[in-house]
Amino acid sequence: MSQPDVYSAPHRAIHWIMAILIVGLVPVGLYMASIPYPPNPGANPALKDNLYELHKSFGLIVLMLAIARVVVRRVKGVPPPEPTLTRVQRIASAAVHHLLYVLIFLVPFAGWLATSMCYGPVKLFWTVPMTLPFSGQESTCTAIYRVHLGGALLMTALVFAHVGAALMHLVIIRDGVFRRMWPTG
């Protein structure tokens, strides 16, 4: 297959939808987990439940988009590294992109697994049943949630670096890196 010079339209659509979802899921995840249960002061069970439901549902959508992204990548291909990149930039961006790929699977899967095992049922937007057929002890679920949180924090740090690099290419270096991924590429 000949290599395209920009990411395919479906690849760019998935990238930006996923980016918006992830940027929302992290603060909402931290906030919802911090809302106290009754009878503690500040408890708001209805808000907590709704945010958990939305977090889990949009998190599952990220996982579905991650699968779609890999399929689109295989079918449509991706552009070769931008020729303006130095060797170091090429290695650094490949490392960050690979890690992000691991995390867009690992983080939602860990959340889904732990929730199914200990705090099910999991439903997509209050309706479609999505609970995984596994059960486990609370200590196992706590450990998996730690992976979920640790992965989400690592992902946040990488996204900061990733956005910084993308903006540097757009504003300072002014090469084609940003355009390759921009929706109107």
Could you give the CA distance from residue 185 to residue 44 in angstroms, rounded to a whole number?
A: 44
Stretch that binds ligand HEM, among 26-34, 40-48, 132-140 (CB under 6 A): 26-34
Binding of ligand HEM at residue 144 (CB under 6 A)?
no
Could you give the CA distance from residue 112 to residue 96 in angstroms, rounded to a whole number?
A: 24
Could you give the CA distance from residue 23 to residue 153 in angstroms, rounded to a whole number?
A: 11
Q: Which of 5, 9, 17, 30 binds ligand HEM (CB under 6 A)?
A: 30
Question: How many other C-beta atoms are found inside a 10 Å radius of the C-beta of residue 181?
Answer: 17
Q: Residue 88, exposed/middle/buried by CB under 10 A (0-12, 13-18, 19+)?
A: exposed
Q: Which of 35, 123, 162, 168 binds ligand HEM (CB under 6 A)?
A: 162
Could you give the CA distance from residue 113 to residue 117 in angstroms, rounded to a whole number?
A: 6
Binding of ligand HEM at residue 101 (CB under 6 A)?
yes
Binding of ligand HEM at residue 72 (CB under 6 A)?
no
Q: What number of chain residues touch ligand HEM (CB under 6 A)? A: 41
> Min. distance of Cβ 122 from ligand HEM in angstroms?
5
Q: Which token pair is 36? A: 């106290």
Q: Which of 48, 106, 115, 117 binds ligand HEM (CB under 6 A)?
A: 115
Q: Select from 96, 93, 78, 103 the least CA-distant residue to 8.
A: 78
Amino acid at 31: Y
Binding of ligand HEM at residue 97 (CB under 6 A)?
yes
Stretch that binds ligand HEM, among 37-45, 104-112, 131-139 (CB under 6 A): 104-112
Q: Which token pair is 179? A: 């355009």
Residues that bind ligand HEM (CB under 6 A): 15, 18-19, 22-23, 25-26, 29-30, 33, 52, 55-56, 59-60, 62, 78, 93, 97, 100-101, 104, 107-108, 111-112, 115, 122, 145, 148-149, 152, 159, 162-163, 166-167, 177-178, 180-181
